A and B are shown apart, each in its own frame.
Chain A
Amino acid sequence: MGKRSVQEINASSMADIAFLLLIFFLVTTTMSVDKGLSRRLPPPMPEKKEQKDVEINQRNIYVVLINSRNQVLAQGKLVDVAQLREDVKKFIRNEGNDPTLPELLPLSVEIDGRTEQVMATTNHLISLQNDRGTEYQKYIEVQNELVAAYNEVRDDFARQKWGVSYSELSDERQSAIQKIFPQKISEAEPKNYGGKK
């Protein structure tokens, strides 16, 4: 008996198998990348202790209210969401040392190994309150504008100092900027305006 020739394996069904797997993955998976606005909630209030209102200088607070008809009231004025960003940027920066805008305090930050003195509105606070009837989309829009204002202020600072955008900076420089412009958005304890429906 001579050598038996090994029969070649028929590979024509390979394509079918691969197709089957492909379709399985197409059906069971989603393409969407999870994205969103990241926030940090304040820690829970101790229940029994009396609530102490923290004294904050009036000029340091920027109050944003959204009512159930999705109207935005910023610092007592009815504003459009599109305008909110510029107003908040002015508020955070307070370039002209305006007495109605938050106070500028000296702050020493370590930038590139050197300690620098910067004037910044580190005590400012943005207070966001909404009604129970506010639409979620509006709420997200306002949150988005607030975050965008911070991002733009930080970005401008980075461009002035280093000529590149904030996102391209090293972590160290980013955290230095974060110190100068800390993101301070506070969400008030829920209040029930106008009672339950």
Chain B
Amino acid sequence: MAKIRKGGKKSVPAVSTASLPDIIFMLLFFFMVSTSMKEVTYKVDIHNPEATELQSLEKKSLVRYIYVGVPKREFVKRYGSETRIQIDDAFAEIAEIRPYVEAERSAMKEEEQGLLTISIKADRETQMGIITDIKQELRKAQALKINYAAIQKMK
């Protein structure tokens, strides 16, 4: 026999939030796995050039970056609007590349020193002159593995 409900207010049960932490944790783990820490804060504006035949850099620990571009707006007053080089978190001169590479290499494990890759992240409107200078410095520093950072071109 079915009970006959008496009229009156039906109370809606509260939505259980017990699984909310689990959902958030899942998101958290997803982001932890799929992203990587920012290497530096950019002080120069970089719009990567586009290309199609890209290879991804595999071991992050073997890669060092050189950024090339026009200083961001807040730095224009101090550093001008000429194309500049950024290494780690500071602006650098061409002459500083070689000691930087050598210092970074000697800080690495011995068996990995030959695998050091320099990734050049340059703005697409940079003139090749500065890139050529960087390449010459890298050659002098015996850092011959380089990578021109680029993004996938949409067809």
A residues apposed to B, CB below 8 Å: 11-12, 14-15, 17-19, 21-22, 25-26, 28-31, 33-44, 66, 130-137, 139-141, 143-144, 147-148, 151, 187, 190
Contact between A144 and B28, CB atoms less than 8 A apart:
no
CB distance from A119 to the nearest CB of B (A): 26
Q: Which of A37, A136, A187 has the most CB of B within 10 A?
A: A136
Contact between A144 and B128, CB atoms less than 8 A apart:
no
Contact between B53 and A35, CB atoms less than 8 A apart:
no
CB-CB under 8 A from B142, the residues of chain A are 43-44
CB-CB under 8 A from A34, the residues of chain B are 56-57, 60, 63, 119, 147, 149
Contact between A29 and B35, CB atoms less than 8 A apart:
yes
Contact between B17 and A190, CB atoms less than 8 A apart:
no
Contact between B132 and A190, CB atoms less than 8 A apart:
yes
CB-CB under 8 A from A187, the residues of chain B are 135
Contact between A35 and B18, CB atoms less than 8 A apart:
no
Contact between A26 and B55, CB atoms less than 8 A apart:
no
CB-CB under 8 A from B127, the residues of chain A are 132-136
Contact between A28 and B125, CB atoms less than 8 A apart:
no
Q: Which of A33, A34, A132, A151 has the most CB of B within 10 A?
A: A34
Q: A44-B142, A135-B124, A136-B131 are in contact. Are A37 and B20 (CB under 8 A)?
A: no
CB-CB under 8 A from A37, the residues of chain B are 51, 53-55, 147-148, 150
CB distance from A173 to the nearest CB of B (A): 19
CB-CB under 8 A from B53, the residues of chain A are 37, 144, 147-148, 151
Contact between A36 and B150, CB atoms less than 8 A apart:
yes
Bound Cα distance from A175 to B73, whole angstroms: 48
Q: A29-B37, A42-B139 are in contact. Are A36 and B148 (CB under 8 A)?
A: yes
Q: Which of B35, B63, B135, B145 contacts A30 (CB 8 A)?
A: B35
Bound Cα distance from A141 to B21, whole angstroms: 48
Q: Let me know if B38 is at the binding interface, CB within 8 A.
A: yes
Contact between A130 and B128, CB atoms less than 8 A apart:
yes
CB-CB under 8 A from A144, the residues of chain B are 51-53, 150
Q: Which of B17, B31, B50 contacts A12 (CB 8 A)?
A: B17
CB-CB under 8 A from B139, the residues of chain A are 41-44
Q: Which of B24, B38, B63, B138 has the most CB of A within 10 A?
A: B24
Contacts A/B (CB < 8 Å), 28 sampled: A22-B24, A22-B31, A29-B31, A29-B32, A29-B36, A34-B56, A34-B60, A35-B151, A36-B57, A36-B148, A37-B147, A38-B55, A39-B147, A41-B135, A41-B139, A41-B145, A44-B139, A130-B128, A131-B128, A132-B129, A132-B132, A136-B49, A140-B49, A141-B50, A144-B52, A144-B53, A151-B53, A187-B135
CB distance from A60 to the nearest CB of B (A): 24
Q: Which of A15, A35, A40, A134 contacts B20 (CB 8 A)?
A: A15
Contact between A139 and B128, CB atoms less than 8 A apart:
yes
